[in-house]
Copies of this chain bind each other. A is one copy, B any other.
Amino acid sequence: MTDNVHDHSMSIKRSADEAYLIAERDGFALLDIAIDEYRLKSTLDNDSCGAFVCFEGRVRNHNNAASVDRLTYYGYEDLAINQGRAIIEEAKKRFEITHAIAIHRIGALEIGDVAVWVGVVSAHRYPSFDACRWILDTIKADIPVWKQEYYEDDSSKWLSNNG
């Protein structure tokens, strides 16, 4: 196993600015640097919205019993953007929300780093909660992102969200 077989999935082809523009327009993008929550949040400002709900998924220092040192996320960018657009479109049909944006980070992450950010605004509070949770669950189920955890003894393994 050599590192370079994963090079294409550890960084994005676009610039970070392009990724933010895609996220703002279509609702989803991958990013390969630290997620700027405030930039994402500002795109959701809307005077008709009384509710803003956001989720941040951060790298934990443990998973099950094992102590996690760091982990790396890998993504299939073009499919992720297409599937992400479909997820946000579907969320807007399912829930009474005004707008939603999500970004997933790829590359090497440290403990505490934000791996995924989902923000939703709506007139009333429950649709934002419901949509934020549904978008997150659907990202975890359908967005082509993979993760390898590295442990203290330098071993690593591929993880999966569904067993």
| Residues of chain A at the chain B interface (Cβ within 8 Å) | 45, 47-62, 111-112, 123, 125-126, 128-129, 132-133, 136
Distance in Å: Cβ of A59 to nearest Cβ of chain B:
7
A56 to B47, CA, bound (A): 13
Say whether A49 contacts B57, CB under 8 Å: no
Contact: A133 with B129, CB < 8 Å?
yes
| A51 and B57 contact, CB distance less than 8 A | yes
**From A50, which residue of chain B is reached at the shortest CB distance?**
B60
Given known A132-B129, A136-B125, contact A51–B58 (CB-CB < 8 A) = yes
| A interface secondary structure, majority | mixed
* Copies of the protein in its oligomer: 2
The interface residues of chain B lying within 8 Å CB-to-CB of A50 are 57-60
Smallest CB–CB gap between A137 and chain B, Å? 8
Q: In whole angstroms, what is the CA distance A142 to B106 when docked?
A: 42
Residues on B with C-beta less than 8 A from A129 are: 55, 129, 132-133
Given the complex of chains A and B, what is the CA–CA distance between A112 and B59 in angstroms?
32
Q: Contacts A47-B61, A112-B45, A112-B47: A52 and B52 contacting too (C-beta < 8 A)? A: no
Cβ distance A46 to chain B, nearest Cβ, rounded Å: 9
> A55 and B52: CB pair below 8 A?
yes
CB distance from A113 to the nearest CB of B (A): 11
* Bound CA span A56–B125, Å: 9
Q: Contacts A123-B60, A132-B129, A136-B125; is A111 near B47 (CB within 8 Å)?
A: yes
Chain B: minimal CB distance from A103 (Å): 15
Query: How many angstroms between the C-alpha atoms of A103 and B46 in the bound complex?
Result: 21
Judging by beta carbons under 8 Å apart, are B53 and A54 in contact?
yes
